[in-house]
């Protein structure tokens, strides 16, 4: 099977053939083999430094070094009020930075809580309820109103199916789903023959073929983007950092002279 294939563009029979599965679903032995091959249907626990580590990291900045140096100088000169103001600015910067980083890490962690804990599947021709993390590519999943979609699915059957996809597309209203392929190049929100992991079924019933699990789902891709995003630097902050470098160099040259 092709893990990056645009499954929404293919007819049902071709998708079933790609995953080598019949309408009776996978056998228990084949499901176990694929679980070992592809891993569990879950998102990895992100690395989260402690609050103290996040707080101390805020001081690793040239401008902060300059301000701390200025605080030492003002203390030596007996200007304790100036020292207090400088230290208050440094401390406020560290607290705000730690809070912002903490919110970003909570957002990444929240994605993991969206995953479905249970899933109803067809295996060996029988309807079973299994743990959501045991799903594998090629499983046939049954959906009904109130369910969370447990993995990325190519829909095989759909009856009055509406799914809330706000967490992926920002669309506030549930969207209607169907089973026919959609044209090439459609945006995520327009792939009406797909159901995505973490979204919620608000009405109807359906069955779908698991085409992606874990980090290979759209939800997993979003978590990866959040975990790897670089902290944005505003022009003002960049200029302040550049000024701090020049100021530090000037102070060192004056001290050497």
* Distant-in-sequence, close-in-space partners of 204: CB < 8 Å, separation ≥ 6: 144, 145, 158, 159, 160, 161, 162, 177
pLDDT band (50, 70, 90) for residue 236 = low
State the alpha helices, DSSP H only, in the chain: 12-18, 28-38, 51-57, 62-76, 80-113, 166-169, 218-228, 235-256
Encode pLDDT of 103-119 as tens digits: 766 766 666 667 778 99
Tokens found for residue 239: 């200029």
- Domain locations along the chain: 7-39+116-222
Buried residues in 231-245 as b, exposed as e (16+ CB within 10 A): eeeeeeeeebeeebe
pLDDT recorded at residue 240: 63
Residue 38 to residues 34, 50, 231, Cα–Cα distance (Å): 6, 31, 32
Confidence of residue 96 (pLDDT cuts 50, 70, 90): confident
Cβ burial of 230 (10 Å; 0-12, 13-18, 19+) is exposed
Q: Residue 99 is encoded by which pair of tokens?
A: 């809070």
- The mean per-residue pLDDT over the stretch 192-213 comes to 96
Confidence of residue 162 (pLDDT cuts 50, 70, 90): very high
Q: What pLDDT score does 171 carry?
A: 85
Task: Decide yes or no: CATH 2.70.150.10 for domain 7-39+116-222.
Answer: yes
Task: Please tell me the predicted confidence (pLDDT) of residue 106.
Answer: 72
pLDDT tens-digit readout, 210-221 = 999 998 999 888
| d(C-alpha 142, C-alpha 156), whole Å | 10
How many Cα neighbours within 13 Å face the side chain of 33?
6
Q: Over the range 119-155, which residues count as b (16 or more CB within 10 Å of their CB) and which as e?
A: bbbbbeeeebebebbbbbbbbbbbbeeebbbbbbbbb
Q: State the pLDDT at residue 257.
A: 56
pLDDT, tens only, 74-91: 888 888 888 888 888 888
Statement: residue 242 has pLDDT above 80: no
The neighbour count for residue 171, using CB atoms within 10 Å, is 12
Residues 6+ apart with CB under 8 A from 73: none
Most confident of 169-173, 203-207, 222-226: 203-207
Average pLDDT value for residue range 5-21: 92
Backbone angles phi, psi at 255, to 5 degrees: -65, -40
- What pTM value is reported for the model? 0.69
């Amino acid at each position: 099977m092709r893990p990056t294939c645009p499954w929404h563009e293919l007819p049902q029979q071709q998708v079933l053939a790609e995953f080598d599965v019949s309408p009776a679903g996978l056998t228990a032995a084949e499901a176990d083999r694929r679980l070992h091959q592809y891993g569990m249907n879950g998102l990895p626990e992100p690395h989260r430094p402690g609050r103290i580590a996040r707080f101390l990291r805020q001081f690793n900045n040239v401008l902060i070094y300059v301000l701390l140096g200025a605080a030492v100088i003002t203390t030596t000169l007996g200007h304790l009020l100036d020292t207090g103001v400088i230290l208050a600015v440094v401390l406020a910067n560290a607290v705000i930075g730690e809070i912002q980083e903490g919110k970003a890490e909570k957002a990444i962690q929240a994605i993991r809580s969206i995953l479905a804990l249970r899933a109803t599947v067809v295996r060996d021709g029988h309807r079973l309820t299994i743990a959501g993390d045991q799903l594998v590519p090629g499983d046939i999943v049954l959906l009904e109103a109130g369910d969370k979609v447990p993995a990325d699915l190519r829909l095989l059957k759909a009856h009055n199916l509406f799914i809330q996809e706000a967490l992926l597309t920002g669309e506030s209203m549930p969207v209607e789903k169907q089973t026919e392929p959609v044209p090439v190049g459609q945006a995520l929100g327009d792939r009406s023959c797909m159901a995505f992991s973490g979204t919620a079924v608000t009405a109807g019933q359906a069955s779908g073929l698991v085409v992606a699990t874990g980090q290979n789902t759209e939800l997993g891709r979003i978590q990866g983007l959040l975990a790897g995003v670089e902290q944005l630097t505003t022009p003002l902050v960049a200029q302040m950092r550049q000024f701090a470098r020049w100021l530090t160099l000037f102070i060192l040259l004056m001290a050497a002279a």
